[in-house]
């Protein structure tokens, strides 16, 4: 074999190295394994109506994972999204109280409220320099306590049918028949918009901020505003998730409880690095879908629901540990050795000037 052919073969990365170059490949493999396990346990799960019902249930978590992705990839956390979802559902039921004419005005109020919570989280974190873990933990407790103080611990009111249709309705069919859920369409639209946003200058700046905020600031990026917008997006996604959850979960004091940790688990399962700077929004969405499928498999196996927190903890520890493993650098092309039998020295000695011939 010639030297040039051997060099070209060495430059070609192996298929396995190419697949495992990113930590997000594991979530797709796990998703396939879990779906196969569910189908083995319950073949009817593969029917179209069952799959659409599963999508309806998984859609709020996928949307929360999108919002949590923006915050985590910027190097921060948002622990307030679960309480924000619960507060949004309770506020909507109290303000609507079953009146159809109040559906869209209340949804507008929910949108403003979600953005306001995101703005407060972002500004306190970026301008007052309070760690986001503390800021959003405090916001979680504030929302949790304020809603229970307002309702006396027993939420009242009712959501309208126009509001609930977004979480349990669909296109091309009537209830009880095959439908394309509105929740699926919303997830697809938000997922495409999030992927496009990460390809825009804001997405690249967000990634650079999470990787090294000092270097990003020296390069001229408005770090405080980039991170604040990430919290705004998280509040927006939590509002959309609240609309979908209200469609089938109803109004209870437990709505949204613990969703913040499930969303973080889904994001890290998708290969997004805690600390920021690396990860894919599509993989984060796949992580949420995988986590929901994993819980469905637990139900098929008749495992107790109390096992879920333990599984979430194991996933977070394993994902962080896997991300910390140093990757082997790619092999670089080596220079082709000189064809001469005797290698020349790096620096040839200067030739001695010739003396003039004697006359």
**Domain locations along the chain:** 47-256
Sort 175 into a burial class: Cβ within 10 Å, 0-12 / 13-18 / 19+: exposed
| Vertex 325 angle, CA 323 and 327, to 5° | 100
Sort 197 into a burial class: Cβ within 10 Å, 0-12 / 13-18 / 19+: middle
pTM above 0.75, yes or no: yes
pLDDT tens-digit series, residues 12-65 = 455 444 444 455 678 898 899 999 999 998 888 888 888 988 999 999 999 999
pLDDT tens-digit series, residues 279-338 = 899 999 999 999 999 888 888 888 887 787 888 888 878 777 766 666 555 444 444 444
Give the chain's radius of gyration (CA, Å).
Answer: 27
317-320's contacts with Cβ under 8 Å and 24+ in sequence apart are: 319/23, 319/268, 319/269, 319/271, 320/268, 320/274
Lowest mean pLDDT among 10-19, 91-100, 205-214: 10-19
In percent, the amount of the chain with pLDDT more than 90 equals: 43
- Of 277, 268, 281, nearest to 195 by C-alpha is 281
Q: What is the mean pLDDT of residues 229-258?
A: 88
pLDDT tens-digit series, residues 98-126 = 888 899 999 999 999 999 999 999 999 99
In percent, the amount of the chain with pLDDT more than 70 equals: 81
């Amino acid at each position: 074999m010639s030297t040039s052919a051997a060099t070209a073969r060495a430059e070609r990365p192996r298929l396995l190295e190419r697949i495992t170059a990113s930590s997000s490949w594991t979530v797709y493999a796990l998703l396939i394994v879990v779906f196969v396990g569910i189908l083995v346990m319950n073949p009817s799960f593969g029917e179209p109506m069952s799959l659409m019902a599963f999508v309806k249930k998984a859609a709020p978590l996928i949307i929360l994972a999108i919002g949590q992705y923006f915050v985590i990839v910027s190097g921060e956390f948002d622990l307030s999204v679960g309480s924000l979802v619960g507060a949004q559902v309770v506020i909507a039921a109290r303000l609507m109280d079953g009146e159809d004419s109040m559906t869209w005005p209340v949804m507008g109020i929910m949108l403003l409220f979600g953005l306001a919570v995101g703005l407060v989280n972002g500004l306190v974190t970026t301008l007052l320099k309070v760690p986001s873990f503390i800021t959003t933990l405090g916001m979680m407790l504030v929302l949790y306590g304020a809603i229970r103080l307002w309702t006396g611990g027993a939420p009242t009111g009712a959501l309208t049918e126009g509001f609930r249709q977004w979480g349990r309705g669909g296109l091309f069919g009537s209830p009880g028949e095959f439908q394309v859920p509105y929740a699926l369409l919303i997830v697809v639209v938000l997922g495409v918009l999030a992927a496009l946003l990460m390809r825009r200058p804001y997405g690249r700046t967000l990634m650079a901020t999470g990787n090294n905020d000092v270097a990003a600031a020296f390069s001229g990026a408005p770090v405080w505003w980039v991170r604040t917008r990430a919290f705004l997006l998280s509040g927006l996604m939590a509002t959309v998730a609240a609309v979908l959850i209200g469609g089938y979960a109803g109004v209870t004091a437990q709505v949204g409880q613990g969703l913040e940790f499930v969303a973080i688990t889904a994001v890290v399962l998708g290969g997004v690095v805690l600390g920021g700077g690396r990860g894919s929004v599509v993989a984060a969405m796949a992580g949420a879908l995988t986590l929901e499928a994993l819980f469905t498999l637990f139900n098929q196996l008749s495992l107790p629901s109390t096992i879920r927190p333990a599984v979430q903890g194991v996933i977070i520890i394993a994902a962080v540990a896997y991300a910390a493993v140093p990757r082997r650098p790619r092999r670089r092309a080596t220079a082709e050795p000189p064809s001469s039998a005797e290698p020349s020295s790096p620096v040839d000695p200067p030739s001695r000037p010739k003396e003039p011939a004697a006359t």
